[in-house]
């Protein structure tokens, strides 16, 4: 299957069936997200797999996305709340260990990255980190579709409610966007057979 065929197959599911995504497929999707590009490679976000059904139920309360509770799995993309030099230090250490080089040899890179983060407010850094999380979300949508696993990306939730229930503040994280994973309920999802709406490529892709 080509990537384009997978992208044509996928749509944002409103009604999931009871079928569960396997652990292998879940790990595969998480691995693909982890392999996503991020600015400077810092990966300033985490992906949380919320397994507990009662917690999922609580998270869905008061919202308009029943997929939060009903899908097989719920992934919460959460960005680092207050990026700091210590995050850069950890990254330099990981890079040194992975590539078998000294931390000192990465000094120039570290300086650029640190200056960039220190020159911005926490909120600006959070917005930047959130953008990286969205790149991971895009990868997840494609990776799941390749496995013929259905998804719903969701911004329709209250981040403060999620942060409280999941205790994300203590982990230095804030929720940004959600991804429900599962299998479409073909008979009961009104969108299961809807034709995809996209701009004509001539209007969307602009040549200059």
Ligand X SMILES: Cc1cc2nc3c(=O)[nH]c(=O)nc-3n(C[C@H](O)[C@H](O)[C@H](O)COP(=O)(O)O)c2cc1C
Q: How far is the CB of 75 from ligand X (least distance, A)?
A: 13
Asked if 132 interacts with ligand X (CB under 6 A), we say no
Query: What is the Cα–Cα distance from 85 to 24, expressed in whole angstroms?
Result: 35
DSSP 99-135: HT--SGGGHHHHHHHHHHHHTS-HHHHHHHHHHHHHH
Asked if 158 interacts with ligand X (CB under 6 A), we say no
Asked if 186 interacts with ligand X (CB under 6 A), we say no
Q: Among the candidate windows 19-27, 84-92, 114-122, 148-156, which touches ligand X by CB under 6 A? A: 148-156
Mapped onto helix, strand or coil, the DSSP state of residue 80 is strand
Asked if 177 interacts with ligand X (CB under 6 A), we say yes
Residue 30: Cβ-neighbour burial (10 angstroms; 0-12, 13-18, 19+) = middle
Closer residue to ligand X (CB): 11 or 128 = 11
**How much of the chain is in helix, strand and coil states, percent to nearest 5?**
50, 15, 35
Token match 């097989």: residue? 72
Q: How far is the CB of 4 from ligand X (least distance, A)?
A: 13
Q: How far is the CB of 10 from ligand X (least distance, A)?
A: 7
> Residues 5-44: x/- map of binding to ligand X (CB under 6 A)?
------xx-x------------------------------
Closer residue to ligand X (CB): 66 or 172 = 66
Nearest to 129 by CA among 40, 28, 31, 29: 40
User: Of 55-84, which residues contact ligand X (CB under 6 A)?
Assistant: 65
What residues are paired with 154 via a beta bridge? Answer: 178
Q: How far is the CB of 153 from ligand X (least distance, A)?
A: 4
Asked if 151 interacts with ligand X (CB under 6 A), we say no
Asked if 154 interacts with ligand X (CB under 6 A), we say yes
Query: What is the Cα–Cα distance from 93 to 66, expressed in whole angstroms?
Result: 41
Query: What is the Cα–Cα distance from 182 to 15, expressed in whole angstroms?
Result: 10
Binding interface with ligand X (CB under 6 A): 11-12, 14, 65, 152-156, 177, 196
């Amino acid at each position: 299957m080509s990537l384009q065929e997978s992208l044509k197959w996928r749509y944002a599911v409103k009604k999931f069936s009871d079928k569960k995504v396997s652990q292998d497929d879940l790990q595969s999707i998480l691995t693909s997200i982890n392999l996503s590009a991020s600015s400077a490679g810092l990966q300033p976000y985490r992906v949380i797999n919320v397994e507990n059904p009662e917690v999922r139920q609580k998270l869905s309360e008061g919202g308009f996305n029943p997929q939060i509770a009903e899908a097989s799995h719920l992934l919460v993309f959460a960005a680092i709340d207050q990026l700091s030099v210590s995050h850069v230090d950890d990254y330099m250490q990981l890079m040194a260990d992975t590539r078998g080089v000294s931390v000192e040899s990465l000094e120039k890179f570290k300086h650029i990255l640190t200056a960039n983060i220190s020159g911005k407010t926490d909120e600006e850094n959070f917005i930047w980190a959130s953008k990286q999380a969205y790149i991971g979300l895009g990868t997840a949508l494609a990776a799941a579709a390749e496995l013929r696993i259905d998804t719903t990306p969701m911004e329709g939730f209250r981040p403060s409610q999620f942060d409280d229930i999941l205790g994300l503040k203590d982990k230095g994280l804030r929720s940004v966007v959600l991804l429900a994973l599962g299998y479409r309920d073909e008979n009961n999802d009104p969108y299961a057979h809807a034709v995809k709406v996209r701009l004509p490529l001539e209007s969307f892709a602009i040549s200059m």
